[in-house]
Amino acid sequence: MVSLKEKIGYALGDAAAGGITWKIMSIAFPLFFTNVFGLTVADTATLMLIARMFDVVTDPLMGSLADRTQSRWGTYRPWLIIGAIPFGLIFALLLYTPDFGPVGKRIYAYTLYLLMMAVYTAVNVPYGSLLGVMTENDNEKNQFSSYRMVGAYAMGFITLFAFPYLQKIVGGTEQHQYAVLGAFFGCIAALGTLACGLLTKERLKPVRAEKFSFKPFADLVKNKPWIYLTLIGICTNFFNGFRYAVAGYMFDYILGKEITFSSLIINYTVFMTFGEVTCMIFGGLSPKFTQWMGSKRRAFTVAALICVVFSVLFFFIPRDPAYIWVLIAIVVLTSVGIGLYSPLLWSMYADVADYATEKNGTSSTGLIFSSGTMAQKFGTAISGSLVALLLGLSGFVSGTNDAGETFIQINDEAAVRSMIWALFSIIPAFIALIMILLLKLYPIKK
């Protein structure tokens, strides 16, 4: 029987990665790069696309390397313990805006973003793989996965809700605010990652292949459950990625930068925290919901259907700050579905890893979980890249002038506003429909 301390320790890993670094990267980075840092929309889109090509190589290699690691801390934990400080440091540097011209800023952004993706892979792939070696009990795997999601969403709520208030406390320019908050949240992320590595235990030993071989990669391509689950994982991150990446633009160009009720500031980060707390609550209820539905696949399908219905409904709400509480209500209801399916995805990856071990005779847990991390980064960053690209096509222009100053220009306000609204509603709904179709083809019936 695993202890509560270990479950909390495991949750701290995704509180750091998913609740702090990835949450800020998902919701703030497209807006940060175009409106604060001073990249053009083309540079922002290209940066995220290049990073994805980089991850296609590094994620599976990291998974294979993690599977073969042997240390006094185990197979996967050493990567969290050793990688914690670089993880927080590089994140902090990424939110710093140097006093460079257009070319210097481009080089800095590309270098730091790729480094961040590399260190995120080195920490998060082993973190996900831990789920496969902490317990062999399927119910306990569901519990660990649920704690993971609750940790990520709880910290995501704290991070996004506190962000505008911390900006006001820091003061100064937006560039200064992001730099200080990057250092602050980077320290917390490093501590959470380190605590996760120290508080968890590896009870099971992977049946490892002693020498490196490309056979696990070939086996992966033949693994039908893995193919469908990876496509589903990409869809879940496309769904979230579009919404998070465009939320800042939605407030800046449709709803007003800030809406204030008494002392409550509602900006784009606070707006999304209503969804975060909902995801946290229903992520905790996901194991019970799954038992009630009778299978993970059926529970996932119902949760995705909830996302479709309320995303479509959001599209028809008037684009007016007077309807802010209606919009928040729709975000909350959409997040019920997200909260229910998020823990299931990682629990299903553990099922796929067990299936692969039984079929092939050796463990490829790290490699399989790396595909989950790759799907997360691929879906989130490609959606962020597409947001920048589609906004550019609709008439949004940004960049840095020769004096090093950021500039913004809107060539077609109506087209930009329509694109922003669709990217938060109709386009994610279409992605969730694809997710449901893929779930019908997913062959593991647990």
Select the more confidently predicted residue: 361 or 265. 265
Residue 361 has pLDDT above 80, yes or no: no
Residue 314 has pLDDT above 60, yes or no: yes
Task: Dump pLDDT digits (tens) for 415-428.
Answer: 999 999 999 999 99
Residue 362 has pLDDT above 70, yes or no: no
Amino acid 307: pLDDT: 97
Residue 367 has pLDDT above 80, yes or no: no
State the average pLDDT for the chain: 86
Q: Quick one: average pLDDT of 37-55?
A: 82
Q: Which two tokens stand for residue 201?
A: 């235990």
b/e string for 80-100 if b means 16 or more Cβ within 10 A?
bbbbbbbbbbbbbbbbbbbee
Residue 83 has pLDDT above 90, yes or no: yes
Residue matched to tokens 């083809």: 441
Task: Dump pLDDT digits (tens) for 161-191.
Answer: 898 899 999 999 999 999 999 999 999 999 9
Task: Show Cβ contacts of residue 294 under 8 Å, excluding neighbours closer than 6 positions.
Answer: none
Amino acid 217: pLDDT: 60
Residue 381 has pLDDT above 80, yes or no: no
Task: Dump pLDDT digits (tens) for 89-116.
Answer: 999 999 999 988 888 999 999 999 999 9
Select the more confidently predicted residue: 366 or 8. 8
Amino acid 215: pLDDT: 60
Q: Quick one: average pLDDT of 305-325?
A: 95
Instruction: Work out whether the CA dihedral 308, 310, 316, 322 comes out positive or negative.
Output: negative
Amino acid 85: pLDDT: 96
Query: What pLDDT band is residue 335 in, cutting at 50, 70 and 90?
Result: very high
Amino acid 445: pLDDT: 76
Q: Quick one: average pLDDT of 7-11?
A: 92
Percent of the chain at pLDDT exceeding 70 = 90
422 to 307, 427, 430, 435: CA distances (angstroms): 15, 6, 11, 19
Amino acid 220: pLDDT: 66
Task: Dump pLDDT digits (tens) for 198-238.
Answer: 999 888 776 554 555 556 566 666 778 888 888 898 899 88
Query: What pLDDT band is residue 338 in, cutting at 50, 70 and 90?
Result: very high
